Structure 1
Amino acid sequence: MGMFEQAWMRVSATVPLEPEVLVDDGTVYATLSYKPIGVVGAIGPWNWPMLISIWQIAPSLRMGNTVVLKPSENTTLSVLALCHVLNQVLPAGVLTVVAGDREVGAAMPGHPGIDKIMFTGSVATGRRIAEGASGTLKRLTLELGGNDAGIVLEDAFGDDEEANDAVAEGIFWGAFINTGQTCAALKRLYVPAAIYDTVCQALVRVARRMPMGVGLAEENVLGPLQNRNQFDVVDRLVEAAKASGADVLIGGDPDREAAGFFYPTTLIADIDPDDPLVVEEQFGPALPIIRYTDLDQAIAQANSLDVGLGASVWSSDKAAARAVAERIEAGTVWINAHGAIDPRVPFGGIKSSGYGVEFGVEGLKHVAVPHVING
């Protein structure tokens, strides 16, 4: 178990959630507390299998529930190992792992013995889970696709190359963490025309310093895509962008016959805002960089898709950045960072990126049921 999993478990175990006095006026005395739901059915993804499993398990157990966990069929062994460790100290039956293919996951939303579903994954699967849960009116937490936008303001980059590279590195890791296989990764970057070339050049410099390869070689900081299907999605979208006339600044030339699903770090410039690489979630190491001349237009383009998990604004003026952030339709908007999740801070999406939140006090409330006593 890694340090991130341990940190989330510690916060989930210790964050306070005390009964709240709602009204105490001498006539009415109303309190609000939270009780266990019962059985939480957790369906995990393949991109962060152990960490996201902890996001589901830890708060559910803290609030007094039991958990039935179905790991992704692509990453079963790591989750089985994680739960084996946890079950060394948990009472029997508190945490149960049910491994299997998609049919197992599909059976959980309609199962009468499960009281809530937590799911992280695709929008399409999230919709099927919501449909399956409708017959029993299960509570749901759905953290679905993102296709997160980042908006760079003109003052974010200047004449100092070293300072520019520092900002570019933050943007780079916002996009390419886990080789882009993160729901809340930065997946489309809007850059003003006045600094467009400067930003592109800085990102290329940073990308060239980030070696990709087998993880057993400690110099590598980027690895492969997890499965062939995801490799093919990224490949298709990049090839379509190239065919449209977009400019490949770096990457875009995978060795399709090599062992492993290594897709090279790819930056695509001068791309149409409606290109498939922009409007579809690529979920891999390819970042489209869209030029804009009007900030209102960039905000409108960022908000134009039916997803809203995360977003970011990059500026040396935090007040200006917050003003833009207020206008962006996303569950979380970061300033001068992207994807910086915190176990103390609620996280969840809007629109087709799902509903319900995880983390912090609000996350605990979503794996419990409110209980009001009035009188």
Structure 2
Amino acid sequence: MSDPTPALADPAVDGAAPAAEPAPEAAVTEILARVQAPEGQGRAIRDAATGDVVGRAPEHTVDDLDAAIARAKAAQPAWDALGHEERSRLLLEAADRIDAAAEALARLLSREQGKPLNGPNARFEVGACSAWLRTAATTVLEPQVVVDDGEVHAELVYRAVGVVGAIGPWNWPMMIAVWQIAPALRMGNTVVVKPSEYTPLSVLALLDVLNQVLPADVLIGISGDREVGARLSSHPDIDKVMFTGSTATGRKIIESSAGNLARLTLELGGNDAGIVLPDADPQAIAEGLFWGAFINTGQTCAALKRLYVHDSIYEDVVSALGALAQQIPMGRGLDEQNVLGPLQNRQQFDIVSRLVEDAKARGGRVVAGGEPAPELGELFYRATIIADVEDGIALVDEEQFGPALPIIRYSDVDDAVASANRLDVGLGASVWSSDREQAREVAARIQAGTVWINSHGGVHPMIPFGGVKGSGYGLEFGVEGLKAVSVPQVING
């Protein structure tokens, strides 16, 4: 997986990737020593799989945040003045540093977040960080001539916004941080990053590697609580907020940013639907369906979370997915053979447990899983396939964000499309068929920011990505992603 971009475009990864040579544990210890709180201070961060203490996160305050924003604001004009070519050079050098530290970063990530090293997981995520950084560094955003009629010449250009506040999630903490950081830095902004309280150490470690190359105060990490996050989105010197997380928190950010009129990019919760048309081959699509739902043990905003299957092939699809769910290895992330890990935190474990128990009580048929796996650890939940459920139950209508996939039977494709569109979310969706043109016709009727054909959840650094409805607004990646962290300016004359 030396080049993660093709794998990211198709998360149906075959089992465990060849293991890289393990970095000495001393490399992880060295990074932690630079980023964690001094001995006896900070908040303990525990291994999601074992409960062991990974390290101690700094507990920055609102005052610390205010000081960081002031430093970032002071550093921004000089960073912007370097120009695109020099900023790109530094970002490419930073990507090289990520590659050099990749194994240590992946091992820290695996311990803190819980995801295994192999498969579409920790090594995959760290590889994606350098891939996205390189793409942002080399993507060209040309001025656009909007009028040139002999009398008027008008160009649309894009300038730096200023200081960007980046608030990240715990599910893909490093990769999503780079999604926010890379285009913002490329366009001449400085960035203040507030990682999730659940996974601060891996993000701070990533920033430490990047800051080996970047000028001082161009990129600053602040590890704090929700009060710090609220202050970041409302601070008068924050010009842009980028947030990935829940819809509920996204609404709070919209409210808190009203005072400073900060520009927003919000990638919020999803409850992605997949529709399997009657001409699909159950065996051919089973692995793609499985990884569309269970990548990162289901803890992905754009994962497949409710699957509608035509009655004529329903049992075949259910059976194929059940067989996969029972055979995919789950366990501690540092064990090389595993490709599914624990839920990252107790709150999410309880949500998955509640939704599955409710589905069982309402007549859902457990095809695989359906219960915790306490022999593996406190936060492990077996990969679960539940059939014979309907719209309206909690497991279908609520975002489970974990390893449990409900499968719903349908007989009319119009009903399946209506079901896919009935919820107030629209991050992603997918259509599965042997007839690509037919699939595209159905896809065009689905209300989602991205609709995949015969895959689900794959992202690419040059393909714009964003949601509709309650899944947020704004685009990331590629040229559109650069525009999103800029302010447009018209040069007329």
Partner Cα distance (2:383, 2:233) in 1: 37
Q: Are residues 1:201 and 2:319 paired?
A: yes
The question of whether the paired residues in 1 share the 8 Å contact of 2:200 and 2:223 is answered with yes
Q: Are residues 1:342 and 2:442 paired?
A: no
Q: 1:66 aligns with which of 190, 199, 207?
A: 190
Match of 1:79 in 2: 203
1:154 counterpart SS class? coil
Q: Are residues 1:313 and 2:437 paired?
A: no
Partner Cα distance (1:165, 1:48) in 2: 29
Q: 1:50 aligns with which of 141, 154, 174?
A: 174
Unaligned runs of 5+ in 2: 1-97, 99-125
Match of 1:277 in 2: 395
Partner Cα distance (2:202, 2:470) in 1: 29
Partner Cα distance (2:169, 2:290) in 1: 23
Q: 2:335 aligns with which of 192, 210, 217?
A: 217
The question of whether the paired residues in 1 share the 8 Å contact of 2:332 and 2:376 is answered with no
Q: 1:93 aligns with which of 204, 217, 242?
A: 217
Partner Cα distance (2:378, 2:154) in 1: 59
The Cα offsets for residues 308-361 of structure 1, whole Å up to 9 and x where unpaired, read as: 000000001000000000000000000000011000000000001000010010
Q: Are residues 1:140 and 2:264 paired?
A: yes
The Cα offsets for residues 271-300 of structure 1, whole Å up to 9 and x where unpaired, read as: 021110000000000000000011000000
Q: Are residues 1:127 and 2:251 paired?
A: yes
Percent sequence identity over matched residues?
A: 67
1:211 deviates by 1.1
1:260 deviates by 3.3
Specify the code of the residue in structure 1 equivalent to 2:178.
I
The Cα offsets for residues 132-175 of structure 1, whole Å up to 9 and x where unpaired, read as: 00111110000000110000001112xxxxxx333100000000
1:253 deviates by 1.7
The question of whether the paired residues in 2 share the 8 Å contact of 1:237 and 1:276 is answered with yes
Q: Are residues 1:267 and 2:391 paired?
A: no
The question of whether the paired residues in 2 share the 8 Å contact of 1:68 and 1:96 is answered with yes
Specify the code of the residue in structure 1 equivalent to 2:303.
A
The question of whether the paired residues in 1 share the 8 Å contact of 2:166 and 2:243 is answered with yes
Match of 2:290 in 1: 172
Match of 2:33 in 1: none
The Cα offsets for residues 66-125 of structure 1, whole Å up to 9 and x where unpaired, read as: 000000010010011000000000000100111111111011111011101000000000
Q: Are residues 1:32 and 2:156 paired?
A: yes
Match of 1:108 in 2: 232
1:204 deviates by 1.3
Partner Cα distance (1:338, 1:123) in 2: 21
The question of whether the paired residues in 2 share the 8 Å contact of 1:215 and 1:223 is answered with yes
2:385 counterpart SS class? strand
Q: Which has the higher helix share?
A: 2
The question of whether the paired residues in 2 share the 8 Å contact of 1:112 and 1:136 is answered with yes
The Cα offsets for residues 176-201 of structure 1, whole Å up to 9 and x where unpaired, read as: 00000000000000000111001111
Greater Cα offset, 212-221 or 120-129: 212-221
Partner Cα distance (1:130, 1:202) in 2: 43
1:255 deviates by 4.1
Match of 2:141 in 1: 17
User: Structure 2 length as normaliser, TM-score?
Assistant: 0.74
Match of 1:362 in 2: 480
The question of whether the paired residues in 2 share the 8 Å contact of 1:165 and 1:206 is answered with no
1:151 counterpart SS class? strand
Match of 2:7 in 1: none
Specify the code of the residue in structure 1 equivalent to 2:399.
E
The question of whether the paired residues in 2 share the 8 Å contact of 1:110 and 1:135 is answered with yes
1:218 deviates by 1.4
